Amino acid sequence: MATHATPAMNFEPGRNPGVTIPQVDPTTFYDAKGEHHPEGSTMLGFWLYLMSDCLIFAALFATYAVVGRNYAAGPSPKDLFDLPLVALNTSMLLFSSITYGFAMLEMEKGDLSRVQIWLAVTGLFGLAFVGLELYEFHHLIHEGATPQRSAFLSAFFTLVGTHGLHVSLGIVWLVTLMAQVHKRGLVPENKRRLLCLSMFWHFLDVIWIGVFTFVYLMGVLQ
Amino acid sequence: MSAASKAGHVERGHVDHGHGHGHGHADAGSHGSFKDYMTGFVLSVILTAIPFILVMGNILGNDRITGIVIMGFAVAQIVVHMIYFLHMNTKSEGGWTILALIFTLTLVIITLAGSLWVMYHLNTNMMPQHMHMG
C-alpha cells in the first residue's frame, strides 16, 4: 500500500547525513496504482459494514420466515402482538430518524448547541423505542411466551432482540459522540463520526420497516 | 475495478478536476437539505400509517391481498429512506455504494427466497403421508 513512504520509514537519523529525505505527508497514503485516497473512504468503509450488518439481518429474517409458524402448540402472533404498541414504537424510531436529520443539518451550519439538542432528542426517542420494546418483551415473557417456548418465539426474540441491541448500542454511541462534540466541538473528526452514526441510525430504521411489516403486521394477518 | 473507477473519475471530473476519485464528496453528496428530510419524513409517515390501518381495520378483507399490499408499502418506504435519509444515489463514492448495495440485495434475496424455497419443499416432502406414497 504505502510503497512511496518506505524511504522515509527506513531513515535513521545520523546514519546517512548526505541523503535528503523526501518530505512525505504522514496523513497521505497511496494504493498500489499510486492513486491518492481521500479521507472520505471512511464513508464507503462504513457503508460496507452496514451492508454486512444487513446480511446478518437477512439471515435472521430468513430464519424467522422458515420457523415463524412453528408454534409448538404455543401462542401465535395473533395472540401475542399488540399492534397499537408496535405502531407507537415505529413512530418513536421514525421521529428519532428525522431529529437526527435535523442534527445533521445544524452540523452543516456549524451550530454546536443545536446539534447537541437534536442529538439529545434523538437519544430520548431511541430510549423510548428500546423502553417500549423491553416492556413488550417483559410482557411476553410474563405471559409465558419465552424464547424457549417455540421455534417461532426463538426466531422472534432473536430477530427483534438483535435489532433492539443495535439501537441500544447506537444510543451508547450517540452519548459518546455528544461528549466528544461537547469536548472538542464540531471538528472534522467529529463531523465524520456523526455522519457514520447518522448512516447507522437511518439503517436501523430501514431494518425496522422490515421487522414491523414482516414480523408484526404479517404475523397478525396469518 | 478499473472500469468502475474510471467511471468515477469521469463523473466527478468536473467537480475536482480529476485529482483523485471521491475527493470532497463527504461535503458534497452525503447530506440532504431540510426539504429532503421533511419529504422523506412525510412519505415515511404515510407509508407506515397505511399498512397499519389496512391490517388493524381489516380494510381489504383478504389476508393474502393485504399481505402483498403491505409488503409493497414496505419496499416503497425502504426506497424512500434510502433516498431521503441515507442520501443514496448512483454517483456517491463513484458508484461504489450503489454497487455494494446491489450486491447485498442480491445476497439478501438469495438468502430469503432460497431458505423459503428449500425449507418449503423439505417440509412438504417430509410430511408423514408422503412417506408411504413415495
Q: In this predicted complex, what is the ipTM?
A: 0.79
Longest Cα–Cα distance of chain A, Å, equals 85
Domain shared by A99 and A11, yes or no: no
Q: State residue B112's pLDDT score.
A: 93
Residues A8 and A115 in one domain: no
Q: Which domain holds residue A22?
A: 1-35
Exposure on the CB side of residue A162, measured as CA atoms within 13 A: 17
Same domain assignment for residues A21 and A52: no
Q: What angle do CA A46, A51, A54 make, to 5 degrees?
A: 130
CA distance A22 to chain B (A): 21
Confirm or reject contact between B112 and chain A (CB < 8 A): yes
Per-residue pLDDT, A32: 58
What DSSP designation does A19 have?
P
Q: How far is A192 from chain B (nearest CA, A)?
A: 8
Shared domain for A27 and A61, answered yes or no, is: no
Say whether both A44 and A135 belong to one domain.
yes
Q: Do B115 and A218 touch (CB under 8 A)?
A: no
Residues A18 and A53 in one domain: no
Average pLDDT over residues B70-79: 96
Q: What pLDDT was estimated at residue A3? A: 46
- Using only the alpha carbons of chain A, give its radius of gyration: 24
Do both A65 and A169 map to the same domain?
yes
Distance CA B112, CA A77 (A): 20
Residues of chain A with pLDDT under 70: 1-40
CB contact under 8 A, A36 and B19: yes
- C-alpha cell, A210: 422490515
Residue B36 has pLDDT above 60, yes or no: yes
- Above 70 in pLDDT, residue B120? yes
Which of the residues B42, B52, B56 would you substitute to probe the A interface, choosing the one with the greatest number of A C-beta atoms within 10 Å? B52
A31 and A56 share a domain?
no
Same domain, A6 and A75: no
CATH of the domain at A57: 1.20.120.80
How many beta carbons lie within 10 A of that of residue A34, not counting itself? Answer: 8
* B1-26 average pLDDT score: 40
Same domain, A28 and A46: no
- Shared-domain flag, residues A104 and A201: yes
Q: Can you give the pLDDT at residue A28?
A: 56
Looking at the fold, whether A19 and A43 belong to one and the same domain comes out as no
Phi, psi of A147 (to 5 degrees): -60, -25
Q: Looking at the 3D structure of chain A, how many domains does it have? A: 2
